[in-house]
Structure 1
Amino acid sequence: MRKAFISPSKYVQGENELLNLGYFVKSFGKKALLIGNQFDIERVTQQLNQTAAKYDCSFVTAGFHGECSRIEVERLKNLAKKEQCDCIIGLGGGKAIDTAKCVAAGNAIIIVPTIAATDAPTSHSAVLYTEDGAFDDYAYFKQSPNVVLIDTKIIAEAPVRFLVAGMGDALSTYFEARANQQSYSNVNAGLPCGARENLCAGAKPTLAAYSLATLCYQTLLKDGQKAKVSCINKAVTPALENVIEANILLSGLGFESGGLAGAHAIHDGLTILDETHNYYHGEKVAFGTLVQLILENAPDDELKEVLDFCLSVNLPVCLEDIGVKTITDKQITQVAEKTMIPEESIHAMPFPITLESIKAAILLADSLGKNYKETRNFTR
């Protein structure tokens, strides 16, 4: 049986690690193209200046326009070539990081997240958008980032909602990896077309990936609430450090080498509803995880555990929590249709999926989540 495991070459996490960025730049040369929005760069200008002086390197500021679009990627590729940059740095949130991945195209790249909102920093894929922000396509590269550098102090100072959204994304990792283990799915069987031509085509999940996905879930349950309070107080604590690692590293390796399943497919289906667009990826994935558990007819104790966790950190547990106050049968049918298109990860589930089973699972998850909030007298 062919198995595969995908990971970045180096992952480094700690307080004030941004001061060591120059060390990693010097492993490629002396000059780096720095891709990030102006606000994120201004947040860390002092650290960038210090590390450049310490390691005798320089940063070419790209003037990132905010969308990971083909036009922006081409502009930045030309800038990197003109400035003779030795490597690419993606600094900030998801779109800056994805743009950097596209510009580097699988070559010398350093990822520096300033928030822990998703598990994308470690992956070898990116999402392309049009200039006006509409979805365009997925991009895949020959290898994962060379370096993922996490400054926990910077992440602790970011708005807490980003950290919580990251926990929502990470929450799905164990359950989706479990589904792939049970169905013997190929790692990329549920990813969009194009992923299937990469180095893991036809490969099954590894025990390592499943173990990391399991540890990801255990870490969230143990430290999630404490990490949220730490972030509110902008304090780096062991709990916050553990959850940052869970959100970025454990979840990143767990999803890419363990596989996606129902939760992310439900997320993708929900994106057709305009009301959900003001909510973060991980917030919608959290609700998608509940829907997946309903599809599996998961034990009551497991459902309760997930619901309790979501409420403890203020993650969505019903449609209203992601902006959908009412939903028609036509709308939920459209969500289900999007969820089960042939290339979606819902087909990694270890049993047949139908349009009606998805619709029923969404409605039941919504009802259970609402009722559970009411019994706990909880208000988001």
Structure 2
Amino acid sequence: MSFHLVSRVGPQQYISEEGAYNYLPEFLKVLSAARVLILHGVKSWHKTAPYLPDLNGAGFDVHEMTFGGECSYQEIDRVIQKIRESDIDLVIGLGGGKVIDTAKAAAFKSGGRPLVILPTMASNCAAWSALSVIYKDNGVSIGHEIYPKQSSLVLIEPRVILDSPIDYFIAGIADTLAKWYESDSLLTHVHQNHLSILYARESAKLCRDIPLKYAIQAVEDMKRGVLSEPWQLVMETNIIAGGLVGGFGDEYGRATAAHSIHDALTVFPETKHILHGVKVAYGIMVQLALEEKWEEVRRLQPFYQCLKLPMNLRDLHLDARPEEDIRKLAAYSVSPDKTIHLLPFEVTETSVFEAIQRLEKSIYI
């Protein structure tokens, strides 16, 4: 297995501390960014308001734009139009993963404008990675785009994320855990001895070890509103470590089977309300079944049960679906564009369907 390796490690600057947003006016002045567009979600805008500096009062021409709900090409084009109409100098993405991915896409496609990211949840590595996951307007995943340019600045205000919905935090834990299981199958078959591959491998280990050791405590601390060291560590792992796997490893650190299963699940309306990382959690189980790593499946079961992550079709509300529909799920997961084919063995509709069936039997043991 051999890919052309291009590392896009992370943002140019990163701050994670109480009061981090206060660095924003200084940074904008350094870049001579007079006209700023803030793309934000409704809830995230209210959550961050107490901590944001007064950019208008500091002399900046601030334009606000409420996110439309999906990181779709239509939504990206809408933001690009606003950027061009208002001659925006710099884009700020404030919110969750889809807001951030839309801001990334619009900033790059409108001429490579500088981008500042203020994540309000630790639900994925969107703030760190140089890519956007693209959806149709109805929420069906249709792939991703990789950009040659990283963001200029990422600012994390821990108090904002601590106050975010805990189910998104748990989804982020699952999405982070997938970085180990998906990249492991690639990184162990690399025939190149690049230092960046070693860094990707170590980052992937963090994506496994930190959640399995600290995540349950971190979730309990978040429920109690305690900004603890375990919570801080898991929160930053969700945002940073997952992004570093692909950042250092490029194609060797990409998603494989778990995210392909996620994409297939988005086709079923029963899963529309289920968060990205939660669907990926089930994808991890299917990937382990494909690889016949049943000891690992059993090792993860208590962790999954504690965090209420899906381990079977019943947990996804798909157990009433006929066998024909589960075969369609398997077929969609192995369509030619899916990353499941990066696994170091042939994967077919039949092998995925059989893995799902074996998983159903195994989980009840």
Assess same fold via TM > 0.5.
Answer: yes
Task: Indicate yes or no: 2:215 matched with 1:224.
Answer: yes
Supply the distance in 2 between the matched residues of 1:150 and 1:125 (Cα, whole angstroms).
19
Aligned length: 353
Match of residue 273, structure 2, among 270, 275, 278: 278
Letter in 2 for 1:93: G
Corresponding residue number in structure 2 for 1:158: 164
Cα 1:129–1:343 change in 2 (3 A) is: closer
Letter in 2 for 1:335: L
Match of residue 8, structure 2, among 1, 6, 9: 6
Supply the distance in 2 between the matched residues of 1:214 and 1:25 (Cα, whole angstroms).
36
1:320-366 superposed Cα distances (whole Å, 9 cap, x missing partner): 22222323221111111111112211111122212221111112223
Letter in 1 for 2:186: N
Cα 1:337–1:133 change in 2 (3 A) is: closer
1:137-174 superposed Cα distances (whole Å, 9 cap, x missing partner): 64332212222222111111011101000011111111
Once the 2 structures are TM-superposed, how far is the Cα of residue 126 of structure 1 from its aligned partner? 1.6
Cα 1:45–1:209 change in 2 (3 A) is: same
Corresponding residue number in structure 1 for 2:123: 117
Match of residue 24, structure 1, among 15, 22, 27: 27
Letter in 1 for 2:284: T
Task: Indicate yes or no: 2:257 matched with 1:254.
Answer: no
Match of residue 313, structure 1, among 307, 311, 318: 307
Supply the distance in 1 between the matched residues of 2:342 and 2:140 (Cα, whole angstroms).
27
1:12-161 aligned within 5 A: 12-28=15-31, 29-50=33-54, 57-105=60-108, 106-131=112-137, 133=139, 135=141, 138-161=144-167
Contact 1:205 1:259 in 2 (8 A): no
Supply the distance in 1 between the matched residues of 2:140 and 2:349 (Cα, whole angstroms).
26
Contact 2:129 2:246 in 1 (8 A): no
Supply the distance in 2 between the matched residues of 1:266 and 1:130 (Cα, whole angstroms).
17
- TM-score, normalization by structure 1: 0.85
Contact 2:183 2:254 in 1 (8 A): yes
Once the 2 structures are TM-superposed, how far is the Cα of residue 296 of structure 1 from its aligned partner? 1.1
Root mean square deviation of aligned Cα: 2.5
Once the 2 structures are TM-superposed, how far is the Cα of residue 232 of structure 1 from its aligned partner? 0.9
Runs of 4+ that moved beyond 6 A:
none
Secondary structure at 1:144 match in 2: coil
Supply the distance in 2 between the matched residues of 1:132 and 1:331 (Cα, whole angstroms).
20
Once the 2 structures are TM-superposed, how far is the Cα of residue 113 of structure 1 from its aligned partner? 0.9
Supply the distance in 2 between the matched residues of 1:353 and 1:130 (Cα, whole angstroms).
26
Supply the distance in 2 between the matched residues of 1:173 and 1:67 (Cα, whole angstroms).
23
Stretch moving more, 318-327 or 155-164: 318-327
Gaps of 5+ in 1: 187-202, 372-380
Contact 2:129 2:150 in 1 (8 A): yes
Corresponding residue number in structure 2 for 1:192: none
Task: Indicate yes or no: 2:257 matched with 1:267.
Answer: no
1:82-102 superposed Cα distances (whole Å, 9 cap, x missing partner): 433321000001221122112
1:188-199 aligned within 5 A: none
Supply the distance in 1 between the matched residues of 2:358 and 2:269 (Cα, whole angstroms).
21
Once the 2 structures are TM-superposed, how far is the Cα of residue 185 of structure 1 from its aligned partner? 9.1
1:37-91 superposed Cα distances (whole Å, 9 cap, x missing partner): 22211222232235665x6545321233333344443333333334333210000
Contact 2:89 2:113 in 1 (8 A): no
Supply the distance in 2 between the matched residues of 1:95 and 1:225 (Cα, whole angstroms).
26
Letter in 2 for 1:348: L
Match of residue 198, structure 2, among 193, 201, 207: 207
Letter in 1 for 2:354: A
Contact 2:21 2:53 in 1 (8 A): no
Secondary structure at 2:68 match in 1: coil
Supply the distance in 2 between the matched residues of 1:73 and 1:241 (Cα, whole angstroms).
32
Letter in 1 for 2:308: N
Gaps of 5+ in 2: none
Task: Indicate yes or no: 2:231 matched with 1:240.
Answer: yes
Cα 1:32–1:370 change in 2 (3 A) is: farther
Cα 1:235–1:102 change in 2 (3 A) is: same
1:259-281 superposed Cα distances (whole Å, 9 cap, x missing partner): 21111111112222221111011
Letter in 2 for 1:354: T
Cα 1:4–1:306 change in 2 (3 A) is: farther
Once the 2 structures are TM-superposed, how far is the Cα of residue 204 of structure 1 from its aligned partner? 11
Contact 2:180 2:207 in 1 (8 A): yes
Supply the distance in 1 between the matched residues of 2:76 and 2:145 (Cα, whole angstroms).
12
- TM-score, normalization by structure 2: 0.88
Cα 1:259–1:73 change in 2 (3 A) is: closer
Secondary structure at 2:69 match in 1: coil
Supply the distance in 2 between the matched residues of 1:102 and 1:153 (Cα, whole angstroms).
27
Cα 1:205–1:264 change in 2 (3 A) is: farther
Secondary structure at 1:62 match in 2: strand
